[in-house]
Amino acid sequence: MARQAISADQLLQGFDAGKGALPGRGLPWLANLRAQGRERFRTLGLPTAKLEAWRYTRLRPFEDTQFRPATEADGRINVDVIPALLKGAAARIVFINGLYRQELSNVAGLPAGVSIEPLAKALAAGSGWIADHLGRVAGETPQAFFALNTALMDSGVVVKIARGTSLDLPIEIVHVSGLTDRPIMYSPRNLILVEEGASATVLVHHVGLGAGAYFVNGATEVDVRDGGSLRHYTVEAESIDAINLATAHVRVGRDAHYEAFGLAVGGRLSRSEVSIRLAAPGASCKLNGAYLMRGAEHCDNTTVIEHLAPHTSSREVFKGVLDDESRAVFQGRIVVHKGAQKSDGHQLSKALLLSAGAEIDQKPELEIYTDDVKCSHGAAAGQLDAAQLFYLRSRGIPEALARNLLVQAFLAEAVEEVSDIGVREAMMDKVVHWLPAQCYLQEQWRGR
Amino acid sequence: MGPMLDIKNLHVTVGEKEILKGLDLALPAGEVHAIMGPNGSGKSTLSYVIAGREGYEITKGQILFRGEDLAPMQPEERAAKGVFLAFQYPVEIPGVTNTTFLKEALNAIRRSRGESELDAMQFVKLLRRQTKELGIPDDMLKRSVNAGFSGGEKKRNEILQMAVLQPLLAVLDETDSGLDIDALKIVAAGVNRLRSPERSTLVITHYQRLLSYIEPDRVHVLAHGRIQRSGGKELAAELERTGYAEFKAVAAE
Amino acid sequence: MAATAQTALQVRELAEDRYKYGFVTDIESERAPKGLSEDIVRFISAKKEEPQWLLEWRLKAFRHWLTMPEPQWSSVRFPALDYQDAYYYSAPKAKGDGPKSLDEIDPELLKTYEKLGIPIREQEALAGIAVDAVFDSVSVATTFKAKLHEVGVIFCPISEAVRNHPALVQKYLGSVVPYADNKHATLNSAVFTDGSFVYVPPGVRCPMELSTYFRINAENTGQFERTLIIADKGSYVSYLEGCTAPKRDVNQLHAAVVELVALDDAEIKYSTVQNWYPGDAEGRGGIYNFVTKRGACRGVNSKISWTQVETGSAITWKYPSCILQGDNSVGEFYSIAITNNHQQADTGTKMIHIGRNTRSRIISKGISAGHGMQTYRGLVRVTAKAEGARNHTQCDSLLIGSKCAAHTVPYIESKNPKAILEHEATTSKISEDQLFYLRQRGISVENAVALVVNGFCREVLQQLPMEFAVEAQKLVAISLEGSVG
């Protein structure tokens, strides 16, 4: 008999006791926002396959796992090494099981005009601009988990890059999760405001320790104002039983640019849902990603790029490799609204299936309401090219190595879209380490 | 009768920008004139405004073709009256074969002149004669218009169309660009074959090269939206030696 | 004048005149009472003198239909259908027992088909095409029956097949599109009136093109034809269908079902030129074309190829699909859809790869003009067993004017690593550069648009049998008249 997923109300009940301890107590606007989020989540309920956005992703973990709120004790566990990805970062903020760990973080020496704070601290300090943006960039959305995050947000950072400020080195945000007695859930909420003409790079890194289950329900709002530029990277390397759901809303202003890259290399269920609004003339975005799944892992990238103004452009490239019985979903929609003349949008999604049990479901979608546009999408699925494999082997490269080499080359096409060199190298390292053991030989072979 | 093409004090804006600023030009029937000039002087604008491309607005002046004002005419009406533009960048039209396209064009022009349409047989015969003279292989006719053609093939295709449509005024916009010497000779031969007392040709070019093969009766230098100097064919040779520096300097004023 | 303003003007002027099939035939017809009920289902079954099993099947479908909600997932929009405000059976009144030969057919009817350019007198017929002409709810004539009989090909109205070949009908009817498949198909199962039946025996290559011509004439009448084509082992058949209807202010429902079955090494080529009345320039009237077409490649090395040119109807909702069960079987879908004025089309295909080394190819060309609204919706599914499956999909949309819309919604699912799936789609505006180039060579705007669009559609037009290709090409041009200034 199929197990019953718990209802939205049941899920909320588990969090009622801790409600009073959530950050931003005593802020009426926030209490109001949380209440709205809660109501919305109850109305929407947990997503089912009947929703087009969830057509290919089932919430199985909610059928067999009960999550409790993360506690301060969960956040105080000892971590020997912080799994930072970047050697040179402008700042590093570390969270353990959602809790900000100041002693592990380093935000000293940031230039004037750059402000980075954990959400809880920023709310306590009463930073006024947060009220003007939190929940406002996204607006009303029909996304249950975004609403749930709004109700329960208890972690995450707020970043503000002031007008004209440009920050060259990346900001690294590390979320370490796991090693708790029972499965926990926490809700990081990030807000990134890049003011007029400002620019910055942010890398968010989720990493799991141990093998236990946990659930990270993240939500992010990004506002890139006129002439601003943001490079926004994420790496998800969650534990094998973990769930990471991330919902992002991005608004890009006049002549502003937003570049995103998401790499997913693990987790029982990892889902990234990104909505980008190119809101003013000249706005552009690059939304790229790669995923590598094995075991019974499930990865879902669901994206919407909306061209709302003339002369806006978007590029999207997603590539994935699926081994064992893993499964991936790519749903990418490009919408060109009435009046968004001279817009162009291009999208490409490709997947490699390495094993007979793997599955890929792709749904690239174009929705065009005006005529003077150039839009295209491509999607492909298949296995490694037999001719290429044979060619490499005929040159003396062992089969396992040759496979790795080809997989790596396949993914490199996406990873190369990362314009920050340090982040690109860190991403490629992650890819190489995901590959079977022979990859280390391959590194030597390539003379890296 | 006046000149075949008579352009008087022509001012043309593209978008907000004035490109031609009082251009005068008289091209009598039977003559070949060359328009030379530095990049950005308005050469292509002149060719487009004669052919009637949208977005090229005449703000002042006139273009008279055999005494008639071209301005109110649609591009296809001008073509029917005998205006032909060999494009600098011929457009690719996937799925439409060269043969279909040429037949449509020829019959449209014949219809508008009150002539009978050619049937498939007559047309193929006419086409064969031209392709042979221009050294155009048959398979080029079966392929889609300009799709996947090399630069040289595209230009030869333009000349083929000219030969089939037999215009009274041919405007050649940088037809020599991107051609090697052999292709250049073929193109020039095609143009020269059409020379006759009732036809005129306007050769627009940056270099003197093409003019060694198509000998012009007169050469005009276009810079800053106006004809700066006119002369005989020796002017082209002179420009080849001195370049356009003299005319560029005018810009600095 | 700005291109768009001129366009709008010309569209208005032309839309009224361009549908040349909009006439009404004044003929006495016999109708069932208005409305839909079990009694109507029984009435239709009785009129057709059907066996008990078929009546039971119809009733089962009808009862199920009552429980089904209207499908909501497509992008077409229209007011709720009033199923009780239509006639479900309309036949030209027969003199006596119905026509025994063409001489007995009402001359008004013959005139109708002449006007439509469909010759049903054999001596005038196009050599090599056998025609079944369906007028409202019944088949009025089938040509070249005798000649086909010589080689064993059965080509007749489905109601006749029920009487003369009950075993074949019972075996295959509903075997590809089950009675409970979807709301429109289920309604069809309950009330289908006529349509064509084709059976090609093993090893026979059908000596001529088979063609059905559908005509809706009566007012407030739905047409629910059912077509069933079976290509037995090693056989081949090419089948064409054409459709027209008079101009009327009210919408009329056309909910057809087509089932194809190809056994081992058999091939079926199915071509449609759909030109139902599309409604006027303001979007009044026109046919709701809600059609379920599906083919099963049951045998090894079998092949089913769908080609469609969809220029008519107020709303088109159809997804001719292939279920590729047999190893090495092949499915193809070639489509041109044009939406002008206020037409809507949600069309595409499903290719379900089940057998090993199955291949499918999809080429879809959508053209949207005026306020036209168009969606390509497609599914390519490779099941875990379909080792070596291959799909290639090319989906292009061309937009003419800033008020139209084009959507591309492909679902691409693969469960087999040895399958290769490729999908490409583009959407772009009709090129001003191309139009100017053609006009500079003396070609009028209208012809320039027709040329560019026909070029855009060429890969699909090439799939049509010769006679149809020429017609289709003209139809493409007519459908877009006045769409660009």
Is residue A297 in some structural domain?
A: no
Looking at A280, A311, A339, the residue that finishes a domain is A280
Q: Is residue A430 part of a domain?
A: yes
From A240, A259, A280, the end of a domain falls on A280
From CA C61, how far away is CA C234, in angstroms rounded?
33
Going from the N-terminus, what domains does chain B have, and what CATH number goes with each? 5-252 (3.40.50.300)
C384 touches chain A (CB under 8 A): yes
Indicate if A272 and A389 belong to the same structural domain.
no
Length of chain A (residues):
448
Q: Which one of C436, C444, C454 has the shortest CB-CB distance to B108?
A: C444
- Inspect the interface and report whether the beta carbons of C442 and B101 lie closer than 8 Å: no
Beta strands B93-97 and B144-145, pairing class:
antiparallel
CA C97 to chain centre: 31
Q: Is residue A359 part of a domain?
A: no
Lowest mean pLDDT segment, chosen from A242-256, A375-389, B56-70: A375-389
Interface membership of C424 toward A (CB under 8 Å): yes
3 state DSSP class of A344: strand
Q: pLDDT tens track of chain C, all 485 residues? A: 333 333 333 433 433 445 666 666 666 667 777 788 888 889 888 888 899 999 999 999 999 998 988 877 777 788 888 888 878 877 766 544 444 455 555 666 566 656 656 555 554 455 456 677 766 656 666 667 778 888 999 988 888 899 999 999 999 999 999 999 998 999 999 999 888 899 999 999 998 888 887 776 666 666 788 999 999 999 999 998 876 666 666 777 888 999 999 999 999 999 988 887 788 878 788 888 889 999 999 999 999 999 998 888 888 899 999 999 999 999 999 999 999 888 899 999 999 999 999 999 999 999 998 888 999 999 999 999 999 999 999 999 999 988 889 999 999 999 999 999 999 999 998 888 999 999 999 998 888 988 999 899 988 988 887 767 777 887 887 777 766 64
For residues A262 and A394, membership in a common domain is answered with no
Q: Among A280, A300, A324, where does a domain finish?
A: A280
Give the pLDDT score at C13. 40
Q: Give whichever of A271-285, B217-231, C51-65 has the largest mean pLDDT.
A: A271-285
From C256's Cα to the closest Cα of chain A, the distance in A is 27
Q: Choose the closest CB to B165 out of C441, C452, C459.
A: C441
CA distance C296 to chain B (A): 32
Neighbours of chain A (3+ CB pairs under 8 A): C
Tell me which residue has tokens 């490699």.
A352
Contact flag C429-A373 (C-beta cutoff 8 Å): yes
Strand partners, A68: A184
Report if residue A349 sits inside a domain.
Answer: no
Q: What is the CA radius of gyration of chain A?
A: 21
Check whether residue A263 and residue A412 sit in a common domain.
Answer: no
- Rounded to an integer, what distance in angstroms lies between the CA atom of residue A94 and that of residue C471? 70
pTM of the predicted structure, to 2 decimals: 0.85
Are residues A92 and A234 both part of a single domain?
Answer: yes
Q: Is residue A242 situated within a structural domain?
A: yes
CB–CB of B170/B202 below 8 Å?
yes
Q: Tell me what pLDDT residue A277 has.
A: 98
Tell me, yes or no, whether A257 and A398 share the same domain: no
Q: Do C441 and B90 touch (CB under 8 A)?
A: no
Identify the contact set of chain A against chain C, taking CB-CB distances under 8 A: 338, 341, 351, 353-383
CA C319 – CA C354 distance, rounded (Å): 19
Q: Note the pLDDT of residue C10.
A: 40
Q: What is the pLDDT of residues B6-23, one digit of tens each?
A: 999 999 999 889 999 999
Q: Is the CB of C404 less than 8 angstroms away from the CB of A371?
A: yes
- Closest by CA to A205, choosing from A80, A83, A78, is A83
Distance in angstroms (rounded) separating the CA atoms of residues A314 and A345: 5
Determine, yes or no, domain membership for A301. no
Q: Do A383 and C428 touch (CB under 8 A)?
A: no
* Of C409, C209, C389, nearest in space to A366 by CA: C409
Same domain, A276 and A389: no
Total domains in chain A come to: 2
Domain membership flag for residue A327: no
pLDDT value at residue C3: 35
- Least confident span in A107-116, A131-140, B211-220, C215-224: C215-224
Q: Based on the domain organization, do A260 and A391 belong to the same domain?
A: no
Residues 6+ apart with CB under 8 A from C289: C254, C274, C276, C312, C313, C315, C316, C317, C318
Q: How far is it, in rounded angstroms, from Cα A339 to Cα A341?
A: 5
Q: Strands A229-237 and A199-209, how do they pair? A: parallel
Same domain (yes/no): A274, A390: no
Encode pLDDT of B132-142 as tens digits. 887 788 888 88
Q: Give the residue numbers spanning the domain of A424.
A: 385-448
C397/A366 Cβ within 8 A? yes
Query: Residue range A4-23: average pLDDT?
Result: 81
Instruction: Select the residue of B94, B105, B144 nearest C442 (Cβ to Cβ).
Output: B105
Rounded CA-CA distance A97/A99 in Å is: 6
Q: pLDDT above 90 covers what percent of chain A? A: 71
* Dihedral (CA of A196, A197, A200, A202) sign: positive
With touching defined as 3 or more inter-chain CB pairs under 8 Å, the answer for chains B and A is no
- Chain B residues with CB under 8 Å of C441 CB are 79, 84, 101, 105, 108-109, 161, 165
Residues of A in contact with C404 (CB under 8 A): 371
C168 touching A (Cβ < 8 Å)? no
Chains that contact C by 3+ CB pairs under 8 Å?
Answer: A, B
- CA nearest neighbour of B251 among B223, B232, B226, B227: B223
Does residue C3 belong to the interface with chain A, where contact is any CB pair within 8 Å?
Answer: no
Higher pLDDT, B206 or C381: C381
Tell me whether C443 touches chain B (CB under 8 Å): yes
Q: Do A272 and A392 sit in the same domain of this protein?
A: no
C-alpha to C-alpha distance for A446 and A405, rounded to whole angstroms = 9
> In angstroms, rounded to a whole number, what is the distance separating the alpha carbons of residues B92 and B145?
6
Judged by a CB distance cut-off of 8 A, whether residue C229 touches chain B is no
The residue ranking higher by pLDDT, A288 or C45, is: A288
Q: Does any domain span residue A109? A: yes
| C444/B contact by beta carbon, under 8 A | yes
Nearest to C447 among B85, B104, B165 (CB): B104
Q: Which of A371, A385, A406 would best serve as a mutation to test chain C binding (most C beta carbons within 10 A)?
A: A371
